[in-house]
Structure 1
Amino acid sequence: MALVDYGGSSSSASEDEESSKITQPTLINILKRPALPTAAALLGPKKPKAEEFADDVVDDPALHGGRIRSFKHERGNWATYVYVPATACAEQLEEFQAEAIAHLAPHLELQANESLHLSLSRTVVLQYHQIDEFSRSLQAALNSSTSFTATLQGLRIYTNEERTRTFIAAPLDGAFTEKMSCILQPIDQVLLDYRLQQFYVPASFHVSLLWCVGDQEKLLNNKLKELKELLEDQDTLPLAVTEVRLKTGNKDFTYMLK
């Protein structure tokens, strides 16, 4: 099929005459006219939903005390964990944090954990489209879980798996380990259903209070007696296990226990 048709049996004489005046270079110029701009050129590339990548950031350890990610940050990955908030004794724990930081300042730079909670999962990765269904699965799994009041007792030193950070934590009183395990089990099952890593075995329930960069386990264990003396000034540290929370990216979900 011809790209341009300048006449036919129904064309008038004037049209034929006019068309004959078109020179070859002019015809080439017409055929070479630039194509109309595409929608992408006019409107720009299609943008993802803002909420889908709301926590997309460039990882810079200098912005968060030298902490290094436990897993590679990728677009669409939402860091996710399940926990019990330690609100009942938050004031007492915050007082201890300040005293411990001052006490160890000549030896080590400690940072206070802003979110005081008892973890019931590792930090795992969810994709954006999984979040709502994962939350519904947790809600269903925890429907039969019972609330209780526990206590924290003493101090213990932990490191993360990569040994890039060291923590000072208040462990759960051993008398409540079985009850907390009953809440952990359905959470572990949901993680398994989503092919995510389950909690540590054996579980060591605790509230992380302070942290520092690097493997400082030996130094902090040597200072543990002094730190425990600071904590002994506090009254009993209650932990009200009345709800479980899920944090994934910038989203938060709460599940009330019976």
Structure 2
Amino acid sequence: MSGLSYLCEYGGSDESESEEVTKKPKLPPPDLSKISTIPIDSHLDDPDQHNGRLRSFPHIRGNWATYAYIQYPQYDNLNELLVQFKEVVRTINEPSYLCDNLHISVTKTIVLKYHLISEFTTSLQDSIKSLESFELGFQSVAVYTNEEKTRTFLALKTDHFSKKYLLKITESIDAVLSEFSLPKFYEDPSFHMSILWWNGDWKNIISEKIEELNGILMKDSEVALNTVTIKKVDCKVGNRFYQFCLDCNGG
């Protein structure tokens, strides 16, 4: 029962001036010791619902986790590649998980205030609408960990041609981030698409298999991923999704 359910009723200020007014006995204070409460601006994060993943920063009402990325539009050749990759790294004593949103990040995950969402996304569109569409390709396998060292990722690194266009995109977005006093992307970014991940830090062990994994990626055209045309940049703001078109006439 909520503590608000216990309402005490008190007499008016003239009670002591009239003998005809009978004072009502005060109710005992409510026992709230067995009522569990959660602060209005807190959020319980259950790692068991996300394969053990932990938040990089706490959820706070009014703060919207935001990042921009290039969505990978083609999955056709990934299944065979993933089967072979998993076989190579099967010695890791931790289950691997398929990344459920295959993409290439072009910002860090930033925190955006609600009242800035409209202005920020409008500025983002203006900053990239004149940039050319391009062909995205991959050239090698790499392994990464998040900054907290709580997760390890196996990823495909983009080729040099793709990196040239991705740098133009991040430079344009960085200018917008600076206007809003938000952190810019990494100084020397390693553009990549994560495809598998593990809980914990397994970078050293997986790194020993990189040469073999690269051999699988490059051995024949049936496994190697084809290039795909990128015509837009996506942005996720909390539970909202935005898409910004590149200049398809320029590429």
Shared fold by TM > 0.5?
A: yes
**Is the partner of 1:237 in helix, strand or coil?**
coil
Residue 176 of structure 1 deviates from its aligned partner by: 2.6
Highest CA radius of gyration, 1 or 2?
1
Q: Which residue of 2 aligns with 1:75?
A: 61
Q: Which residue of 1 aligns with 2:152?
A: 166
Deviations 1:25-74 (A, max 9, x none): 43355xx799xxxxxxxxxxxxx9xxxx9xx8421222212222222222
1:76 and 1:137 map into 2 onto residues whose CA distance is 20
Q: Which residue of 2 aligns with 1:7?
A: none
Which letter does structure 1 place at the counterpart of 2:232? E
Q: CA, structure 1 residues 152+186, in 2 after alignment: closer, same or farther (shift >3 Å)?
A: same
Match of 2:213 among 213, 227, 252: 227
Q: Which residue of 2 aligns with 1:93?
A: 78
* Cα pair 1:101 1:111 within 8 Å, conserved: no
Q: Does 1:113 align with 2:99?
A: yes
**Is the partner of 1:154 in helix, strand or coil?**
strand
1:239 and 1:169 map into 2 onto residues whose CA distance is 17
2:91 and 2:199 map into 1 onto residues whose CA distance is 16
* Cα pair 1:104 1:110 within 8 Å, conserved: no
Matching of residues 125-204 of structure 1 within 5 Å: 125-204=111-190
Q: Which residue of 1 aligns with 2:21?
A: 27
The share of aligned pairs that are identical, in percent, is 35
The ranges of structure 1 where at least 4 consecutive aligned residues each deviate by more than 6 angstroms after the TM superposition are none
1:202 and 1:194 map into 2 onto residues whose CA distance is 22
2:18 and 2:147 map into 1 onto residues whose CA distance is 76
Residue 239 of structure 1 deviates from its aligned partner by: 3.5
* Cα pair 1:80 1:248 within 8 Å, conserved: yes
Residue 126 of structure 1 deviates from its aligned partner by: 1.2
Q: CA, structure 1 residues 218+165, in 2 after alignment: closer, same or farther (shift >3 Å)?
A: same
Instruction: Give me the CA root mean square deviation.
Output: 2.6
Residue 79 of structure 1 deviates from its aligned partner by: 1.4
Q: Does 1:237 align with 2:226?
A: yes
* Structure 1: runs of 5 or more not aligned: 5-22, 35-47
1:112 and 1:188 map into 2 onto residues whose CA distance is 29
1:240 and 1:58 map into 2 onto residues whose CA distance is 40
TM-score for the superposition, normalised by structure 2: 0.77
TM-score for the superposition, normalised by structure 1: 0.75
Residue 209 of structure 1 deviates from its aligned partner by: 0.8
Residue 92 of structure 1 deviates from its aligned partner by: 1.7
Report the number of matched residues.
Answer: 217
